[in-house]
Chain A
Amino acid sequence: MMTPNPLRVLILGAGSGIAQATARLYAAEGAMIGLAGRNAERLTAIAADLTARGAAATEIFDIDFTDPDAAATLAGMVAKLGGLDHVLLAYGVLGDQALADRDAAAALAIIDVNFRSAAAWMLAVANLLEVQGRGSLVVLGSVAGDRGRRSNYVYGAAKAGLAVLVQGISHRFRSVGPRVVIVKPGPTDTAMTAGMAKGGPMWATPEAVAAVVRKAADSGGPVVYAPGRWWLIMAIIRNIPAAIFNKMNF
């Protein structure tokens, strides 16, 4: 379905499960979708899927997100897409907390991907959206960023950093012009969580999270939980006194 003015969407980390599910929603709307990631072969398969589902066009950007010059790379992508309406920053790694406990390099690798490089991309996107005076940036955070716990606190700290960045950018944009939102999913059944025991009421599908992400790009923010019940759960968890929290085993 070619529409005369398709929505132009850039997905950073297009291979992730939540990103793919979100991209399918955009494809069904006839959007033009830029897919950025590290594996061109996989991105090609995703692009074909989106085209079959109705995307107006797709562009593949085979990039390393830790490259320092995000702003220049972003400008090149926008030129290829012919504009930019929505950006989804979806890449990240869970890492191995047990390894990070002992090995500073492993801990910093988690922080480099999830915070350092993501921050550079967020600032580059924010500057671009500010110049054009419209558009939206949705960042995938995590409920792990709401309270540190021993099983994933380095990952959680990086995601918490993103939340503060979103807060600041949102303040900078105030209530006019571009929108910036952090979506904080709970545990989601994707490749990132492969190998964990799944199922049960705490686990969401990538499709359910994608619906929240897609909506966040149009309305709401700056903090959105996915599914929404995590707002309440995390409000409680954040407020448990440390003396009690630290005795809990989860």
Chain B
Amino acid sequence: MRVAQPAFPDELPPLMRQGAELPHGVLAGGLRRSYGDSCINDGGALVEMTGLDRFVRFDRTTGLLEAEAGVSLSAILKLAIPAGFFLPVTPGTKFVTLGGAIANDVHGKNHHRAGSFGRWIRSVSLLRSDGSACFVADDDATGLFAATVGGLGLTGVMTRATLQLAPIASSNMAVETVPFGNLGEFFALSGESDASHDYTVAWIDCLAQGDKLGRGIFTRARHASDGELRVKPPGGPSVPIDAPGFLLNRLSIAAFNEVYFRLAGRARQATVSYDPFFYPLDAIGGWNRLYGSRGFYQYQSVVPPSVAADATAEMLRTIADAGQGSFLAVLKTFGDVASPGLLSFPRQGTTLALDFANKGGPTLWLLDRLDAIVRQAGGRLYPAKDGRLPPAMFRAGYPALDQFTTHLDPGMSSTFWRRMTP
């Protein structure tokens, strides 16, 4: 993979033309927080966009922000918070570029209110590999906007985008945590909280079985109604070396889950800064190294509302039976706000995000079994978190795939795309 690091937009057209001539074409890359291969281009060219991180204009009265695509969500927060604005939708890390957030049409804990990130994108400036530039707004009739949002960076290089920020009165969050004993209680809490709170999410103890199946801790929050507008200073501990594999086994995860559940085992309210609320893992540099040198698989699915309870229970039973727990099992109900992208992952229903230490065959076997449940339920998996999705399941989960393909930039590709469309 050849990597270029342009610092100014005028360097892009020649890089794109040269890259497009390689057998595997060219792909734009950001901060590479996608877990799988959608952000790499083996045998091709990668244009690293993080040097294109300038703001173009920021209206401090309306919160409309135009920026180059390589700007990070972290930099946007630094600009927006003192001015009384926040990201309208944010994923669980702020180390994501604007272009990457659009390409994956990311979602956050406020999906039931705000929908996906792409819903807040007003326009995107695209450079195609043939050197042509185009500007697509959210009311675009050609379909190129819908292909670009969630389009995994395959419709051209995004050079700039305009984002509508959301007003906030404080950088603090009013957070409430409520433990729940099983999956039924989760759905009840989620239904009631989605109506009253901007942000809702649950942590699940995915090793719990029987009548405790799906027990966990529900978190619901709002932006505080008054207080300071303060950006958190950077820094924090980091993980210096890969953890040895024996740290991650059924016993250690069960122990962790038990302790975590007990510590948070009563309902409580607190006011905390936005940073630990939204980005707990950002404070631990290189947290992925805790999974050791073999790494881990992320697995995030969404299943439609009508079958959500059954399918989720079956997935949790399958995981508990397999004894391969996940530290981070996160459950969230997506609302009915439609995602704008042809390949957007978020759709109405229930999403379960998991990560499994890579134990080779047994882990892949478990993921295949989860695939079967998701597919049976008419659900789909999240490409940004995927390293092994079978092409047929991708096709089944994304019915607009053929329509998307008509907007593909012929000079662009990614390792993920070649894996999905062999």
Residues of chain A whose beta carbon lies under 8 Å from any beta carbon of chain B: 15, 17, 39, 41-42, 45-46, 48-49, 51-53, 190-191, 194
Residues of chain B whose beta carbon lies under 8 Å from any beta carbon of chain A: 5, 7-10, 51, 54-58, 65, 67-68, 79
- Measured in the bound complex, the distance between the Cα atoms of B67 and A191 in whole Å is 20
- Measured in the bound complex, the distance between the Cα atoms of B362 and A22 in whole Å is 51
- Measured in the bound complex, the distance between the Cα atoms of B7 and A15 in whole Å is 9
Whole-angstrom distance from the CB of B276 to the nearest CB of chain A? 23
- Measured in the bound complex, the distance between the Cα atoms of B67 and A48 in whole Å is 10
Tell me the number of A-to-B contacts counted with CB atoms below 8 Å: 36
Task: Contact check, B55 vs A53: say whether CB atoms are below 8 A apart.
Answer: yes
Given A52-B79, A53-B79, A46 contacting B54 (CB threshold 8 A): yes
- Measured in the bound complex, the distance between the Cα atoms of B57 and A33 in whole Å is 17
Chain B residues in 8 Å Cβ range of A41? 10
Task: Contact check, A191 vs B51: say whether CB atoms are below 8 A apart.
Answer: yes
Chain A residues in 8 Å Cβ range of B57? 48, 51-52
Chain A residues in 8 Å Cβ range of B58? 52
Chain B residues in 8 Å Cβ range of A46? 54
Whole-angstrom distance from the CB of B363 to the nearest CB of chain A? 30
**Could you say which of A15, A39, A49, A190 contacts B56, with CB atoms under 8 Å apart?**
A49
- Measured in the bound complex, the distance between the Cα atoms of B7 and A53 in whole Å is 18
**Could you say which of A48, A51, A191 contacts B7, with CB atoms under 8 Å apart?**
A191
Chain A residues in 8 Å Cβ range of B10? 41-42
* Shortest Cβ-Cβ A-B pairs, 10 listed: A52-B55, A49-B54, A52-B58, A191-B7, A49-B55, A42-B8, A48-B56, A45-B54, A194-B5, A52-B57
Chain A residues in 8 Å Cβ range of B9? 45
Chain A residues in 8 Å Cβ range of B51? 17, 191
**Could you say which of A42, A48, A191 contacts B55, with CB atoms under 8 Å apart?**
A48
Whole-angstrom distance from the CB of A239 to the nearest CB of chain B? 32
Whole-angstrom distance from the CB of A6 to the nearest CB of chain B? 17
Whole-angstrom distance from the CB of B234 to the nearest CB of chain A? 10
**Cross-chain pairs A/B with CB under 8 angstroms, 24 sampled:** A15-B7, A15-B8, A17-B7, A17-B51, A39-B8, A41-B10, A42-B10, A45-B8, A45-B54, A46-B54, A48-B54, A48-B57, A49-B55, A51-B57, A52-B55, A52-B57, A52-B58, A52-B65, A52-B67, A53-B55, A53-B79, A190-B7, A191-B5, A191-B7
Whole-angstrom distance from the CB of A141 to the nearest CB of chain B? 21
Nearest-CB residue, chain B, relative to A195: B5
Chain B residues in 8 Å Cβ range of A190? 7
Chain B residues in 8 Å Cβ range of A53? 55, 79
